Amino acid sequence: MKQFWTIFKFELAGYFKNKIFIGVTVSMVAALVILIFIPNIVSLVKKDSGNHAEETMQDSDNENKSIMLISSEDDELSAMAQPAFASAFSDYQVKTLNEPVETIKQQILDGSAECAFVLDSASSYTYYVNNLSMYDQNASIADMLLEDIYRSSAMAKKGMTQQEISDILNVQIQGRVTALGADQMKNFFYTYIMIFALYMVIIVYGQMIANNVASEKSSRAMEVLVTSAKPNSMMFGKVFASCLAGLFQLTVIFGTALLLYRFNKSSWTGNEIMDSFFNIPPYLLIYMLIFFLLGFLIYAFLYGAVGSTVSKMEDINTSVMPVTMVFLVGFFVVIFAITSGEVDTPLVKVFSYLPFSSPMVMFARICMSTVPIFEIVLSVAILIASVILTGILSAKIYRAGVLMYGNKPSPRQILKVIHKA
């Protein structure tokens, strides 16, 4: 136990003295500061340039805008369409023009107008534009405008008053949505962010542990270590130290984010992502912590064991590949589940019990659905048992692996070693 603490402290100090660890943490925090204060920065810049440019802006208001042409042989239609288009396309200067189609096309090609709607009737038109952008919404906006024009003129023909027409067209629907279980709209963002954080931490720290073990082996420090410390102390000391370092890093990053958000909450009112993320129910944070710890440990043990079977640093990437693959399968299942919103399909349910994916999948289900408590307990129990089993197993692999030099052992050899140890 004394050895465990010595190793634990040494490894932990290793993380906190590691320049990359410090650098990543500091730059993450810096990025968060910038992110959280973006609205303030944006409004500051706006106000600044606004003051100088305000007078000239008003004069050149119309000249700066691109020109949209509306053309129709029906003068009445043009007259009705122009104000409607002008208010809907506020980015454009909307002009009516009664010229042949060829002239209009020419104007667009030579750049004197950007686009044009040639209206045959209220229910038929041609949209001309030089280069059609992927994001061009003009035609669908025009559809809606023309629908309104068509309907109101049709209703006017039937003898309705302007008031009656506008009442019908502008009816307001009063709707209220109450989610009795989990509200996926609201939970999506924080589920996504937390799953992603879990994914990043496990993958990054797993690799670090594998590297750490392999480098002790390749530098031959292992020769002294195996005669100084018990393999169990080594394995558990390393894994728990990295676990604490990871937890610390997450806490610092999310803690800073939360603090800054509290401080700057007023600038973010009405932003759904931020609202969702910073109003995570506390019980979910506790689940997050449980699944983080268990998920981290199970993978840290695996990565550590794999690291101990490698004798050359060059081999480490190919050796950790199978572990990373297993992890990625779970990750893709959970990402697919939360983006599709279907977190209770049989497949997702199965993955929420498998120990190598349950930390992410069960957490996502808890966030985005209503999971019976016994299912959570069962999943966590399976996970805890698997963590203990993986820990013991990985210490055994470690004990045998650290003194194996030379060629990379085959999976069969590793199994033999586990069996013997």
List Cα–Cα distances, 96 to 44, 116, 149, 339, in angstroms. Answer: 39, 9, 16, 45
Sheet bearing 124-129, strands edge to edge? 92-96, 66-72, 115-121, 124-129
Shortest CB 318 distance to other proteins, Å? 23
Task: State the DSSP H helix or E strand holding residue 55, giving kind and residue range, or none if neither.
Answer: helix 38-64
Shortest CB 234 distance to other proteins, Å? 9
**C-beta closer to other proteins: residue 38 or 221:** 221
Touching other proteins, residues 302-341 (CB under 8 A)? none
Q: Which amino acid makes up residue 356?
A: F
CA gap 104, 277 in Å, rounded: 50
**C-beta closer to other proteins: residue 201 or 239:** 239
**C-beta closer to other proteins: residue 6 or 82:** 6
Q: Which of 3, 78, 96, 153 binds other proteins (CB under 8 A)?
A: 3
Query: Could you tell me the maximum CA-CA distance found in the chain, to the nearest angstrom?
Result: 100
Touching other proteins, residues 201-240 (CB under 8 A)? 216, 219-221, 223-229
DSSP at 172: P
Shortest CB 388 distance to other proteins, Å? 24
Shortest CB 229 distance to other proteins, Å? 5
Number of residues engaging other proteins in binding (CB under 8 A): 19
**C-beta closer to other proteins: residue 12 or 119:** 12
Q: How many CB atoms lie within 10 A of CB 225?
A: 15
Shortest CB 300 distance to other proteins, Å? 20
Q: Which of 1, 2, 270, 346 binds other proteins (CB under 8 A)?
A: 2
Tokens representing residue 365 in the block: 């289900």
Tokens representing residue 242 in the block: 């990295």
**C-beta closer to other proteins: residue 13 or 41:** 13
CA gap 345, 277 in Å, rounded: 25
Shortest CB 246 distance to other proteins, Å? 21
For tokens 């509200």, the residue is 183
Q: Which amino acid makes up residue 43?
A: S
Touching other proteins, residues 259-288 (CB under 8 A)? none
**C-beta closer to other proteins: residue 14 or 39:** 14
Tokens representing residue 235 in the block: 């394995």
**C-beta closer to other proteins: residue 30 or 403:** 403
**C-beta closer to other proteins: residue 220 or 265:** 220
Shortest CB 231 distance to other proteins, Å? 10
**C-beta closer to other proteins: residue 226 or 290:** 226
Shortest CB 238 distance to other proteins, Å? 13
Q: How many CB atoms lie within 10 A of CB 78?
A: 17
Shortest CB 245 distance to other proteins, Å? 16
Q: How many CB atoms lie within 10 A of CB 226?
A: 17
Q: Please answer whether residues 210 and 307 qualify as being in contact, where contact means their C-beta atoms are separated by less than 8 angstroms.
A: yes
Shortest CB 226 distance to other proteins, Å? 5
List Cα–Cα distances, 133 to 114, 124, 130, 139, 141, in angstroms. Answer: 12, 22, 9, 12, 15
Q: How many CB atoms lie within 10 A of CB 205?
A: 21
Touching other proteins, residues 4-43 (CB under 8 A)? 6-7, 10, 14
Taking contact as CB under 8 A, which single stretch among the options 1-9, 38-46, 131-139, 369-377 is the one that binds other proteins? 1-9
DSSP at 312: S
Burial annotation 38-74 (CB, 10 A radius, 16+ → b, else e): eeeeeeeeeeeeeeeeeeeeeeeeeeeeebbbbbbee
**C-beta closer to other proteins: residue 15 or 291:** 15
Instruction: Report H helices in 229-281.
Output: 231-263, 272-278
CA gap 85, 70 in Å, rounded: 9
| 403 makes contact with other proteins (CB under 8 A) | yes
| 129 makes contact with other proteins (CB under 8 A) | no
Footprint of other proteins (CB under 8 A)? 2-3, 6-7, 10, 14, 216, 219-221, 223-229, 403, 416
